[in-house]
Amino acid sequence: MTHDPDQHASLGAMYSDYFLDYASYVILERAVPHLYDGLKPVQRRILHAMEELDDGRYNKVAGIVGNTMNYHPHGDQSISAAIVGLGQKELLIDTQGNWGNTLTGDGAAAGATRSPATARPPRATSRPA
């Protein structure tokens, strides 16, 4: 076995290139909201899981997290934090229970990660013309 310094230099350069490619992928595909709908992938997966569970009643956050884990491979804490973020904005999900307060600094620990909090997709209302 011989040590070839050029081989190690090219291997280091290869790993550097691969790391930059992967970091760019993570930033663009997971961390930045998509231009099409303004949602991150975890938020899109949560809404899909909520639509599957929708039976007209509120569902517990733990149940939504469990169903979302079928589609989101990054663990339950990231899903819970994303649900709390959506619930505190009160835009895409209808909430019930204690979801914390962004104005006072109460976050996920004081909000919907406990079992009493529930959520469901909002109902579309048809308005007569």
pLDDT, tens digit, 9 for 90 and up, residues 48-91:
999 999 888 888 888 999 999 999 888 888 898 888 888 888 88
Q: Give the pLDDT confidence of 101-110 residue by residue, as tens digits.
A: 777 777 655 5
Instruction: State mean pLDDT over 92-112.
Output: 72
Structural domains counted in the chain? 2
Judgement on whether residues 47 and 3 belong to the same structural domain of the protein: no
What are the structure tokens assigned to 89, written together? 């904005």
Judgement on whether residues 20 and 58 belong to the same structural domain of the protein: no
128 domain-assigned = no
Name the average pLDDT for the chain: 78
Print the SS3 string covering 59-121.
EEHHHHHHHHCCCCCCCHHHHHHHHHHHHHHCCCCEEECCCCECCCCECCCCCCCCCCCEEEC
Q: For residue 27, give the 3-state DSSP assignment.
A: helix
pTM for this prediction: 0.71
Judgement on whether residues 21 and 53 belong to the same structural domain of the protein: no
Query: Which pLDDT does position 88 carry in this prediction?
Result: 83
Instruction: State mean pLDDT over 33-48.
Output: 88
Judgement on whether residues 109 and 59 belong to the same structural domain of the protein: yes
116 domain-assigned = yes
Q: What are phi and psi of 73, to 5 degrees?
A: -85, 15
What is the percent of the chain where pLDDT is above 90? 13
127 domain-assigned = no
Judgement on whether residues 65 and 114 belong to the same structural domain of the protein: yes
Q: What CATH number does residue 111 fall under? A: 3.90.199.10
Judgement on whether residues 92 and 115 belong to the same structural domain of the protein: yes
Contacts of 71 (CB under 8 A, 6+ apart): 45, 48, 49
CA–CA distance, 61 with 58 (Å, rounded to integer): 9
Judgement on whether residues 61 and 116 belong to the same structural domain of the protein: yes
Q: pLDDT-based confidence at 128, cuts 50/70/90?
A: very low
Judgement on whether residues 58 and 78 belong to the same structural domain of the protein: yes
Judgement on whether residues 27 and 46 belong to the same structural domain of the protein: no
What's the domain range around 72? 40-120
5 pLDDT more than 80 = no
* pLDDT higher at 111 or 32: 32
108 domain-assigned = yes
Query: Which pLDDT does position 115 carry in this prediction?
Result: 54
* pLDDT higher at 93 or 114: 93
Judgement on whether residues 53 and 93 belong to the same structural domain of the protein: yes
Report the b/e string of 17-28 with b at 16+ CB within 10 A.
eeeeeeeeeeee
Query: Which pLDDT does position 66 carry in this prediction?
Result: 92
Judgement on whether residues 27 and 55 belong to the same structural domain of the protein: no
CA angle 68, 91, 45 (to 5 degrees): 20
Q: For residue 24, give the 3-state DSSP assignment.
A: helix
